[in-house]
């Protein structure tokens, strides 16, 4: 729920066996294959890239900024249930900084 999976290099962003539907998620792969195997997107899922401010993919999370870029499709796109609201009370953002435990940098 409310997750972002963004991949630019492999065949699928998510691949698995066993029927599973992901809802209120953003799964994006620049090669065009978001879901594979028996994993499918739910009706409230999106597929949009360039979500984060700065991710280097160099193996060190210390120099990455997982804040959402201004204009990201993942802003206010998470589950609309009040239990998932962001710390400011608005509809939650997808990704690691959204929801009631989000807001960290």
**Residue 34 predicted with pLDDT over 70:** yes
Each residue of 39-97: pLDDT tens digit? 888 889 999 988 999 988 888 888 989 899 999 999 999 999 999 999 999 999 999 88
Q: How confident is the model at residue 16 (pLDDT cuts 50, 70, 90)?
A: confident
93 DSSP assignment: P
Helices (H) and strands (E) in the chain, counts: 0, 6
Q: How confident is the model at residue 6 (pLDDT cuts 50, 70, 90)?
A: confident
Q: Which two tokens stand for residue 21?
A: 């539907």
Give the whole-angstrom CA distance, residue 22 versus residue 52.
20
28 in Cβ contact with 10 (< 8 Å): no
Q: Characterise 95 by phi-psi region: left (phi > 0), alpha (psi -120 to 50), beta (else).
A: left
Give the whole-angstrom CA distance, residue 17 versus residue 91.
32
Give the whole-angstrom CA distance, residue 19 versus residue 23.
13
- pTM higher than the cut 0.75: yes
* CA count, 13 A, side-chain hemisphere, 41: 18
Each residue of 64-74: pLDDT tens digit? 898 999 999 99
């Amino acid at each position: 729920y409310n997750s972002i999976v963004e991949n630019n290099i492999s065949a699928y962003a998510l691949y698995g066996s066993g029927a599973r539907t992901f809802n209120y998620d953003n799964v994006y792969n620049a090669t065009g294959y978001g879901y594979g195997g028996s994993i499918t997107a739910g009706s409230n899922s999106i597929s949009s890239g360039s979500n984060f401010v700065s991710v280097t993919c160099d193996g060190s999370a210390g120099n990455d900024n997982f804040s959402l870029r201004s204009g990201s499709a993942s802003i206010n796109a998470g589950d609309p249930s009040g239990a998932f609201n962001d710390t400011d009370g608005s509809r939650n953002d997808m990704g690691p900084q959204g929801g009631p435990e989000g807001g960290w940098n």
